[in-house]
Structure 1
Amino acid sequence: MIKLMKNYTLSMFLLGFIMLGACSSPEEPVVEDDDDEVVVVPEEPKETTPPPPAPDPFAREGNVYKKDNQWIVKVNEDTVYTGTDMIRAIQEAAGGLFAVRNFKQTVFIHASGETGANSGSLKAVDIPSYTILDFQGHTMHVNDTGDDLIVPIRGLSSQNIEIKNLKITGNPRYGIWLQSCRNIRLTNINVNIPEAVSIGLGIRIDQARGSRSQNVYMDSIYVENTKHHAVETYGVDNITIGTITTKNTGGAGLLLNDTKDGTVKLVDAYRANNGGGYAGFRTANDCGPNIVVEKVIARECGRGVFTVSGSRGITIKEVDISGSTSHGMLIEDTQDFVVEGGTVVNSGAQGVRITSRASEQHHATSNVTVKNLRVYDDRNPKQQSHGIWETLPRTNKNFILNNDVRNGGYTANLISNGEGTVVEGNIVDN
């Protein structure tokens, strides 16, 4: 009996202890003895120098130097040419780049120089595909005499090419001549060639090797004192032009032949073919469609703007034309042509002439819109015969809208003869 009572008392004590623990708060902090805690101090990071990157087996760069009268060409650290021929030096540098590649590599030209004479045939630096020629502001002077048989830079069916920061002087045939090339960039090019003998054209891009040139970008182009055009294209698809500035050229400032899908920011031409028939800006030979020009400035040119020979699909947003020795604007055998506004002042023939030739070789002039122009002659006596003059044969269905032609010409301010032409909103009477 006594043993049973002891077991009962012990059981009740244990039960009470368990219940007391169950009733304590679960949020009550538990105090631990941290006297024996070990603190680990991290080691200072060790300085390490990463290993140098593996050399790029495709990295090659050409450098063309000049010392005294010698050209020295290095490709990477290897000397590949030493001699007196500037054209050969640049060619050797370009030829020393990685032979087969689908990425651009650069030749840097570090000095100006002369090309020397030709040897009876055309002589040029032929730029390979995927090549950049950076002249860093230096000059190629063509000191050849007689026939124009030197082209400083030429492209023969090349693709992905760049020519930049180049000055050309002397007597070249063409400053730059690119034939059937693709993906072209020309930037900061200066051509000044009063010494040219016969051809002397600034920049030409064409389809001379059988396929059309494509994807052309040009900007900051300055051409002066050429015998022929400043910049000419023939057979080009997709062209973007920033600014072209020309002065005293024997032909047009900018001439687009058989060229489509393009934009031009600014043509600024001074005395382009003064006294002749070419213009500051000219389109011809089925040029278009989809050509948009932001602005044409033409001072004392043969014509300010001249579009002809089947051109179509061309828009000029603004013109600033003065002192043309012939027409301010001549729009002939052209369709879907728009001039959105500007001024035409003091032309030698008419301010604006809209016409078609009798021959049916090209389409008649139709769907031409001339609007928002101020056309006048403030000389005494006037030399501009008409402000705007639309003439036959075949010319039809054009739009002459909202122009101010007061004091437009000594014969008449505005005459329209085309069948179906709309003439509205013009200020005609003085």
Structure 2
Amino acid sequence: MTQLSSLFLTAVLALASGVRAQCGAGSPHATVSGSGNSFRTTRGSTQLYSGSDYRAAIQAGLDGISSGQRVAVLASGSIGAGTITLASGKIFEGCGTINVGNRAGRGAIEIQNVNDVQIPFLTMTGNPYFGLRVSGTRNLKLGKLNFNLSGGLAIRFDRDAAMNYNVEMDTITVTGAGSHAVETWNIDGLKINSVIARDVGESGLLLQNTRNAWVGLVDGNNVATGTGYATFRMANENGKNANGNYNTNVYIDKVISRGGGRGIFCVSRSGGVVIQNVDLSNNGNNAILIENCYNVSIRSGTVNGGGEVRLSARSEFPNNKDIWITLQVNNNSVRESPCGENTNFSISGNARQQIC
């Protein structure tokens, strides 16, 4: 095991141990209880809120604790089109089911320009514009988060906002999002155990302008049907280092994709990535599309049926360079057009091959 792999493993084990406890266990500093139209927020013997507004009850709990303290939302309810905001150092546990509405351009939960926020547990339903909206954070830790949505985008790191540093996620499970399950922009230092996407309209995991990243698993079923997105997509100079090179800094252990649209898509001057293993079957668009990307290595795995494995390029960006693909491809084809620079294929299986 390399030193880098060892560091990633240590970080993942630490993250997993931090979310192993049951939601609301022990002695939270504040709790939100109740149901229907009656909610109560307490901090010890102090009542922080009592009334019918579920969002206000949650916000009162968050506002009533200090940095390093924890609020557990035991009650289920609806915040409508409102927004919950988290300040630095707050630990938020969503033990009940939080139903949300759609507030244009905003998140149901927002984490912006703050440090050391933790959400170990969350269950969200509804149709948010963004379930979580994030920017300008340091040391954000997201644990076991479940989004059972009827539309919207589950987790979004804003494009036109400050960088994020040292973001960790355990298991993010998203069903029914109309857009992406997890979309990142502007992250330096990202670790994700797994993203599980089911019946999601656009990408399962979309990384953009993100570097120094490790992801254990991206698993998509019926993701990006009829679109140009993919179960796993990298775009907009993802993997480009601060000094402008594309030395490897993004590591993906495994991508699984069934049906939907594309399986894997690298585009718009992205790269610097090693994908250790893939398991792609019956994708409705390209099983794999690499377009204007640099230093991309797919080291093992299988592709069965679906759209072709393709290397392509747009004229407005430099061509593909330094690509390595080792795969078993059956009932499909592998095509490179136009020819890239230093492209390397090791293809087994019955695939038709049209490569340079």
TM-score surpassing 0.5? yes
Q: Tell me the distance in 1 between the aligned counterparts of 2:296 and 2:36.
A: 56
> Aligned pair 1:363/2:318, yes or no?
yes
Displacement of 1:67 = 5.1
**2:273 is the counterpart of 1:314:** yes
Q: Is 1:112 paired with 2:80?
A: no
Corresponding residue of 2:97: 139
Q: 8 Å contact 1:140–1:152 — kept in the other structure?
A: no
Percent identity, please: 31
- Does residue 376 (structure 1) correspond to residue 330 (structure 2)? The answer is yes
Match of 2:345 among 386, 400, 405: 400
State the partner residue of 2:65: 97
**Out of 137, 151, 154, which is 1:202 matched to?**
154
Give 1:82's aligned residue.
Answer: 50
Conserved 8 A contact 1:87-1:152: no
Return closer, same or farther for 1:248/1:60 CA change in 2, 3 Å cut-off.
closer
29, 39, 45: which one aligns with 1:61: 29
- Give 1:224's match in structure 2, choosing from 164, 168, 175: 175
Structure 2 Cα separation of the partners of residues 95 and 276 of structure 1: 41
How many angstroms does 1:309 deviate by? 0.3
Give unpaired runs (5+ residues) of structure 2: 1-26, 241-248
Opposite residue 126 of structure 1, the aligned amino acid is T
How many Å apart are 1:298 and its aligned residue? 0.3
Are the structure 2 counterparts of residues 309 and 149 from structure 1 closer, same or farther at C-alpha, using a change threshold of 3 Å? closer
Partner in structure 2 of residue 414 of structure 1: 353
Q: Distance in 2 between matches of 1:112 and 1:269?
A: 28
TM-score, normalised to structure 1's length? 0.72
Q: Which of 172, 180, 191 is the matching residue for 2:128?
A: 172
Structure 2 CA distance, aligned partners of 1:202 and 1:60? Answer: 26
Q: Which residue of 2 aligns with 1:325?
A: 284
What do the CA deviations read for 1:375-403 (whole angstroms, capped 9, x no partner)? 111xxxxxx4xx2111116x2221112x2
SS at match of 1:329: strand
Deviation per CA, 1:288-322: give whole Å up to 9, x if none. 04100000000002111000000021110000001
In structure 2, the residue matched to 1:156 is 112
CA distance in 2, matches of 1:327, 1:60: 48
Q: Distance in 2 between matches of 1:252 and 1:149?
A: 19
Q: CA deviation at 1:68?
A: 5.1
Hey, what's the Cα distance between the residues in 2 that align with 1:67 and 1:93?
16
Out of 189, 194, 198, the position equivalent to 1:238 is 189
Q: Quote the Cα distance in structure 1 between the aligned partners of 2:126 and 2:36.
A: 21
Distance 1:230 1:94, change over 3 A: same
Any conservation in 1 of the 2:113–2:135 contact (CA below 8 Å)?
yes
Is 1:182 the equivalent of 2:126?
Answer: no
Provide, for residues 352-374 of structure 1, a one-character-per-residue CA deviation record: whole Å limited to 9, x for no partner.
Answer: 10121112xx3310100011x11
CA positional deviation for 1:152? 2.6
Residue identity in the other structure for 1:140: I
CA distance in 1 between partners of 2:217 and 2:76 (Å):
29
1: CA distance, partners of 2:330 / 2:159: 41
* Normalised TM-score (structure 2): 0.86
Where 1:87 maps in the other structure, the secondary structure is helix
Answer whether contact 2:35 2:75 (CA < 8 A) is retained: no
Question: Any idea what the Cα deviations from partners look like across 1:159-198, whole Å, max 9, x if unmatched?
Answer: 101112211111211111112111111111111112x3xx
**RMSD of the TM alignment (CA)?**
1.8
SS in 2 for 1:227: coil
Moved over 3 A (4+): 147-150, 206-209
Decide whether aligned partners of structure 1 residues 284 and 67 sit closer, same or farther in structure 2, where only a CA change above 3 A counts.
closer
Bigger relative contact order (CA 8 A; separation at least 6): 2
Structure 1 distance, partners of 2:209, 2:106, is 26
Q: How many residues align?
A: 322
5+ residue gaps, structure 1, are 1-58, 378-383, 418-430
